[in-house]
Amino acid sequence: MPYSVKVGAHGVPSCVRQGETVLEALLRDGVDYPHGCTTGVCGLCKSRVIAGEVELAQYYPSVLTDEERAAGLTLVCCATPLSNCTISPVQTDVLLPSVTSICARINCIERLTHDILRIGVSPQDDTAFRFLAGQYASLSTEKMPAREFSMANRPGSPELEFFIRRVPGGAFTGFLFEQAAVGQVLTVAGPFGLAFLREGHIGPMLAVAGGSGLAPVLSIIRTALAHGMAQPIRLFIGVRAERDVYMERELLDLQAAHPNLSSTFVLSDPEEGSCRPAGLIHEVLARELAGDALGNARAYVAGPPVMVEAVSKVLIGLGLPATACHADPFLTSADKISRGRRAE
């Protein structure tokens, strides 16, 4: 039978149809409810269940911890009601930038590796696109549906910078690699995501990136260093082989200017004679960080979902508080479909 859900004590109930999530029902009825990814990744729709009961589909544990769930919190994008419910969105500890949509043009396209592009984008009318370091946006064209990518630049930069990996069979990334040119008009919407830099943190920072996950991690590191955050910052980047290493020159320059930063590329399939650490990145982290005190650290993790989950599990197992692990799994359209959600 259908159940109703309302926001707050005086909200107008929305009927949740069969097969719908709570969020889908609210948005269908025109309720302006906080949300972002719609796949249990970003945490923007985290809410308290004031009355009633919901059932959760797949989501990322780093977004909603067991402790939070036991305390009555849920993710409405993954929740279906088991009774009539009343919910309330949870306020974040910072004022998030408003979600906006702007028209922008591609300024530059640079191939960083055989399957990663750097794309620079500027607003057409010099309208500022506000975001927090580590957040992401959706890009689309008149003919191509929206896909989500993280900014690599610091907030406030005149140009938005994206590292985009070609997804096999991906229509949008195939378009960017094969057809897009300087001058191409894009719609940029956002920002989204809660895996942003916590500037009030004074303890050690860990940053872990897989492939194009370096984009939000680099935005976080660039911003932290520019704002004078002087605590130790350790960056680990997992790639397959030497040909997949990129942005190393800038990282070396940043290390020379900021001795509190260290960066390490980890190769999962290294060539013979390679002197870089080898293995799956979560296994290397387990070795490298064994014995380190992580109780006062914060971690920022971005990349493929399997990597993000494995790394988060290792870090929490080493003593990092679950609430201090800010994860940003990069889901493709196929990933979203396999998780039972519609592609964006």
Which ranges of 179-303 does DSSP label H, i.e. alpha helix? 214-226, 248-257, 281-288
What radius of gyration, in Å, describes the C-alpha atoms of the chain? 20
Instruction: Classify each residue of 147-175 as buried b or exposed e, where b means 16 or more C-beta atoms within 10 Å of its C-beta.
Output: bbbbbbbbbebeebbbbbbbbeebebbee
pLDDT of residue 174: 94
Q: Tell me how far apart the alpha carbons of residues 37 and 30 are, in angstroms, rounded to a whole number.
A: 18
Q: Tell me how far apart the alpha carbons of residues 7 and 61 are, in angstroms, rounded to a whole number.
A: 24
Which candidate, 65, 54, 55, places its Cα nearest to that of 87?
54
Per-residue pLDDT tens digits for 58-82: 887 778 888 788 888 899 999 999 9
Return the top range by mean pLDDT from 17-21, 93-97, 203-207: 203-207
pLDDT of residue 91: 64
pLDDT of residue 214: 98
Q: Tell me how far apart the alpha carbons of residues 26 and 56 are, in angstroms, rounded to a whole number.
A: 16
% residues pLDDT > 90 (the chain): 67
Per-residue pLDDT tens digits for 190-245: 998 889 999 888 899 999 999 999 999 999 999 999 999 999 999 999 999 999 99
* Domains along the chain with CATH numbers: 3-89 (3.10.20.30), 100-194 (2.40.30.10), 205-329 (3.40.50.80)
Q: What are the residues facing 136 on neighbouring strands?
A: 150, 192
pLDDT of residue 281: 97
Between 154 and 66, where is the model more confident? 154
Residues contacting residue 185 through CB under 8 Å, at least 6 positions apart: 103, 104, 105, 124, 141, 142
Q: Tell me how far apart the alpha carbons of residues 4 and 178 are, in angstroms, rounded to a whole number.
A: 47
pTM of the entire structure? 0.81
Q: Tell me how far apart the alpha carbons of residues 23 and 249 are, in angstroms, rounded to a whole number.
A: 44
Query: Which band of pLDDT confidence, cut at 50, 70 and 90, is reported for residue 35?
Result: confident
Which candidate, 322, 236, 317, places its Cα nearest to that of 279?
236
Percentages (nearest 5) of helix, strand, coil residues in the chain: 25, 30, 45
Which candidate, 139, 126, 130, places its Cα nearest to that of 96?
130
Mean pLDDT, residues 319-336: 79
- The mean of the pLDDT values for the chain is 90
Is 321's pLDDT higher than 80?
yes
SS3 (DSSP) at 189: strand
Is 335's pLDDT higher than 70?
no
Between 334 and 122, where is the model more confident? 122
Burial class (CB in 10 A: 0-12, 13-18, 19+), 83: exposed
Per-residue pLDDT tens digits for 291-311: 898 999 999 999 998 999 999
Residues contacting residue 291 through CB under 8 Å, at least 6 positions apart: none
Return the top range by mean pLDDT from 6-15, 50-59, 272-281: 272-281
% residues pLDDT > 70 (the chain): 94
Residues contacting residue 179 through CB under 8 Å, at least 6 positions apart: none
Which candidate, 195, 191, 192, places its Cα nearest to that of 208?
195
Instruction: Classify each residue of 116-133 as buried b or exposed e, where b means 16 or more C-beta atoms within 10 Å of its C-beta.
Output: bbbbbbbbeeeeebebbb
